[in-house]
């Protein structure tokens, strides 16, 4: 786990081993049987960073019986995610650890089936449908802020998780989950903690084995499934076509005219609901931690909100003028990308960076490492939203910044997430100034996503220009 106050810009000189003719990629020597799993368990973020610095852009690792390559070159990542994407699948050792959660949903499915499901869901995240979610985002945020007390400390990470869950449920499923939020939040925390352990385990322990951790895991998953089942059941009973994502899934028919199976409807709904809220919640949690550490930047953000919005509520039409707010979110996602690592598995023998890659090799690409690489970003450990001025995103190598992945399997909700993060952020800034309540570093918890261990505690303070 990596304390956020550590300065990773120190010691970034890159010392690469020279490749021996005919040899595979360089990498650290691992232990018998477990390989590098113990190193990863101690501090995976720092370990991957160190591997990149010392061994180069293609690093050979081993997780028990699974040979692995860590890629930290934008060019090689573009090869895997874009140019040769058909040679790589998501069905890696790591994803097999969480099949019980996501099943065969968009996050994990492959081939023609994935293409069909992606095309089915895409309209819910584009065009006028996407814009229509803006009002829900702002209204739900204002409802949350109405319950805040000036000066009373709160865990912003918990608040953001609850808020974005309500937004995802209302916008994509036209459902209210107010009564379920606390239990789902607890369940998601249990799932995330267990997944973090599983990712550093040298073998797969079947969920059916009644270990205490498996019992907690199954119980937490069952709680999420119960909420999703209730939402689907209520919609099927009403027969209503709300024009939302859930209606699209229910109306979908395959080439034989058959509707989606109950199991597939469950898989897609859980995938969208969980993935559709956690990315934004984490981006905002880290954003507020950074803004609390940089009150001058928080003040500039407040000034932009006052200039663009005055005291009225933000709308989707304002996004083009809220430039600094967008840069703040982009910079927070550079330093703390919610998807801190992206995995694939080689489906056939191939070559990356001149090295042979055998079928079955796990490929890991880490936005955490690449976003903090001084080859792409000056003073990479510093929180500097202004670095995104003058269209930096277009001037960077294509995969020097990729918080949502890339290629055909780029996160389907990436525009939803950015729009949501900016609208929530500016709505909060209009009402309050937030002051951190704890001085000690917040540690990262790398699970499927990058979570702040122990939360982000801050107190809302009234701002002179706030609207109430």
Q: What CA–CA distance (Å, rounded) separates 419 from 319?
A: 8
Contacts for 189 with CB less than 8 Å, ≥ 6 apart: none
What does the pLDDT read at residue 12? Answer: 43
Q: What CA–CA distance (Å, rounded) separates 57 from 70?
A: 8
Contacts for 384 with CB less than 8 Å, ≥ 6 apart: 331
Q: What CA–CA distance (Å, rounded) separates 181 from 159?
A: 10
Query: What is the side-by-side order of every strand in the sheet holding 154-155?
Result: 154-155, 457-462, 432-436
Q: What is the CA radius of gyration of the chain?
A: 22
Q: What CA–CA distance (Å, rounded) separates 25 from 59?
A: 6
Contacts for 96 with CB less than 8 Å, ≥ 6 apart: 204
| DSSP track, 98-120 | GHHHHTTSTTT--HHHHHHHHHH
Query: Quick one: 345 exposed, middle or buried, by C-beta within 10 A (0-12, 13-18, 19+)?
Result: buried
Which pLDDT tens digit goes with each residue over 385-431?
999 999 999 999 999 999 999 999 999 999 999 999 999 999 999 99
The answer to whether 26 and 17 have CB atoms below 8 angstroms apart is yes
| DSSP track, 395-409 | HS-TTSS-TT--GGG
What does the pLDDT read at residue 273? Answer: 87
Q: What CA–CA distance (Å, rounded) separates 277 from 203?
A: 30
∠148-149-153 over CA atoms, to 5°?
A: 90
Q: What CA–CA distance (Å, rounded) separates 161 from 353?
A: 40
User: Strand locations in 22-160, DSSP E?
Assistant: 58-63, 66-71, 88-89, 154-155
| DSSP track, 17-31 | PPPPTT--------B
What does the pLDDT read at residue 462? Answer: 82
| DSSP track, 215-230 | HHHHHHHHHHHHHHHH
Token output for 145:
């802020």
Q: What CA–CA distance (Å, rounded) separates 335 from 367?
A: 9
Question: Domains in the chain, start-ordered, CATH in brackets?
Answer: 37-462 (1.10.630.10)
Q: What CA–CA distance (Å, rounded) separates 224 from 64?
A: 32
What does the pLDDT read at residue 155? Answer: 96
Residue spans of the chain under pLDDT 50: 1-19, 21, 464
Mark 281-315 as b/e (b = at least 16 C-beta within 10 Å). Answer: bbbbbbbbbbbbebeebbebbbebbbebbeeebbe
What does the pLDDT read at residue 99? Answer: 78
3-state secondary structure of 79: helix
The answer to whether 200 and 44 have CB atoms below 8 angstroms apart is yes
The predicted model scores a pTM of: 0.91
Torsion angle of alpha carbons 182, 186, 187, 188, nearest 10°? 100
∠17-21-22 over CA atoms, to 5°?
A: 110
Backbone φ and ψ of 379, nearest 5°: 45, 65
Sign of CA dihedral 24, 26, 32, 36: negative
Q: What CA–CA distance (Å, rounded) separates 143 from 327?
A: 26
What does the pLDDT read at residue 467? Answer: 60
Q: What CA–CA distance (Å, rounded) separates 219 from 213?
A: 10
Contacts for 446 with CB less than 8 Å, ≥ 6 apart: 1, 44, 45, 196, 199, 340, 341
The residues that bridge with 58 in the sheet, in sequence order, are 71
Which pLDDT tens digit goes with each residue over 292-314?
999 999 999 999 999 999 999 99
What does the pLDDT read at residue 184? Answer: 87
DSSP H/E element including 51:
helix 37-55
Q: What CA–CA distance (Å, rounded) separates 97 from 304?
A: 44
């Amino acid at each position: 786990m990596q304390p956020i106050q550590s300065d990773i810009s120190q010691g970034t000189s890159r010392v690469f081993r020279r490749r021996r003719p005919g040899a595979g990629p360089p990498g650290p020597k691992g232990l018998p049987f477990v390989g590098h799993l113990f190193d990863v368990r101690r501090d995976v973020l720092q370990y991957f960073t160190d591997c990149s610095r010392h061994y180069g852009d293609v690093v050979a690792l081993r997780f028990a019986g699974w040979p692995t390559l860590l890629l930290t070159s934008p060019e090689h990542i573009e090869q895997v995610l874009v140019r040769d994407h058909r040679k790589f699948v998501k069905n890696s050792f790591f994803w097999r650890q969480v099949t019980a959660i996501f099943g065969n949903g968009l996050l994990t499915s492959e081939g023609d089936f994935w293409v069909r499901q992606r095309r089915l869901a895409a309209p819910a995240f584009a065009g006028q449908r996407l814009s229509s979610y803006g009002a829900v985002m702002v209204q739900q945020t204002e409802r949350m802020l109405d319950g805040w007390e000036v000066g009373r400390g709160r865990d912003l990470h918990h608040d953001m998780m609850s808020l974005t869950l309500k937004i995802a449920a209302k916008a994509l499923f036209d459902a209210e989950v107010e009564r379920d939020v606390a239990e789902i939040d607890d369940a998601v925390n249990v799932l995330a903690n267990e997944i973090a352990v599983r990712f550093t385990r040298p073998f797969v322990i079947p969920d059916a084995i009644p270990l205490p951790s498996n019992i907690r895991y199954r119980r937490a998953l069952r709680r999420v499934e119960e909420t999703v089942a209730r939402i689907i059941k209520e919609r099927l009973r009403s027969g209503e076509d709300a024009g939302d994502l859930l209606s699209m899934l229910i109306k979908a028919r395959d080439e034989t005219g058959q509707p989606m199976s109950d199991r597939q409807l469950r898989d897609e709904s859980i995938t969208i609901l969980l993935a559709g809220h956690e990315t934004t919640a984490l981006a905002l949690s880290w954003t507020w931690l950074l803004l609390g550490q940089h009150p001058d930047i928080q003040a500039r953000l407040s000034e932009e909100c006052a200039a663009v919005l005055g005291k009225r509520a933000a709308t989707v039409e304002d996004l083009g003028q809220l430039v600094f707010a967008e840069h703040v979110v982009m910079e927070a996602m550079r330093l703390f990308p919610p998807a801190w690592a992206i995995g694939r598995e080689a489906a056939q023998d191939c070559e990356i960076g001149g090295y042979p890659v055998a079928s079955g090799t796990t490929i890991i690409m880490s936005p955490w490492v690449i976003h903090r690489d001084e080859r792409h970003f000056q003073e990479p450990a510093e929180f500097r939203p202004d670095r995104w001025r003058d269209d930096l995103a277009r001037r960077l190598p294509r995969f020097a910044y990729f918080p949502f992945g890339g290629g055909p399997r780029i996160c389907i909700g990436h525009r939803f997430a950015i729009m949501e993060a900016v609208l929530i952020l500016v709505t909060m800034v209009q009402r309050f100034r937030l002051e951190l309540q704890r001085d000690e570093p917040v540690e990262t918890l790398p699970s499927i996503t990058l979570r702040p261990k122990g939360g982000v505690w801050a107190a809302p303070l009234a701002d002179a220009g706030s609207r109430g």
